[in-house]
Amino acid sequence: MGESIYSSALAQFAGKRVLVIGDLMLDEHVWGTVERISPEAPVMVVQVDSDPDCLPGGAANVANNIRALGGEASVVGVVGDDEGGDILRRVLSGVGVDVRGVFTDDKRPTTRKTRIWASHRHQVVRIDRESKRKVSHAIVERMIDYIKRESAGVDAILVSDYAKGVISKETVAAAVGSGKVSVCNPKPRNIVCFGGMGVITLNQSEASAASGIDIDELADIERAGRKLVGMTRCSGLVVTRGAHGLSVFESSGAISHIPAIETEVYDVAGAGDTVVSALTMALACGLGLPDAGAIANCAGAAVVRKVGVATTTPAEIAALLENCKL
């Protein structure tokens, strides 16, 4: 019975539409080689070999994950009036993401994280260009109007918060008020903005920070989860726990602990984006929270086996579901 439920949900991914709201980022990777030390300072001189790789990051990576899972994605967010904003729009459009909800704020830069790599193995330095101040009231109003218009045509809304100033109580209220399946992955400092949200996802350290409870054992995670569900009045909470899998808390008080999938871990970067994307897609297909959590758990396991910020597919998730006992 379980296998048919999961197979049916995965087959429905291709028909689902998700509106992603959040902090859009451009991840830029500059590749080169090192042949000498600078005469100006004791630092490596990186000779750049080619044009940088530009990838979607933050909420933009969430939208990219939705597309990789077979869904339709549109984004609501803010970029600057700069080259980074143009590149990010182009990158997202290139993978089929609807960017009509990307608004330009000429008072702030596009969040852009540039990583300099030597010999394709060693990260030399990361350069961050960003503003963490709140988005202007005028742009917030434009985002809210867009959310209200577009929410009627989607199956779910996913709020991806990286604490860069885009997410506010007003934008969250617009998402909750849509009446659609709503999921969010907030930063602990912004947890107060997410009252009444559908499902909240946090990793274990975020759950500890948001709840004020040190988490050392299973009883601690259960106390923290119950507290967070009460604090936020959410319908459900998912806490990812790395090598310990994930824990699912329902508003009814039910708790489910889903064990981790045994796999080689190469890179955990971006795994949280994949988990919340797969969880949202599964919920949009009508699965209950524990079953949606099982799919999300497999999605996370699929991407940590890959190097770099990666995505997964329904076929990869299905293969993991077949090989584990649920």
CB-count burial class (<10 Å; 0-12, 13-18, 19+) for 209: middle
Beginning with the edge strand found earlier in the chain, give each strand of the sheet holding 181-185 in spatial order.
98-105, 72-80, 17-22, 156-160, 181-185, 199-203, 236-240, 246-250, 255-258
Q: Say how far apart CA 62 and CA 54 lie, in whole Å.
A: 15
Question: Interior CA angle at 18 toward 207 and 174, to 5°?
Answer: 70
Phi, psi of 173 (to 5 degrees): -60, -35
Helix or strand run (H / E) with residue 175: helix 169-176
Largest CA distance in the chain: 67
Has 86 been annotated as catalytic?
A: no
Contact 312, 281 (CB under 8 A): no
- Among residues 98, 161, 273, 291, the one annotated as catalytic is 273
Residues acting as catalytic residues? 273
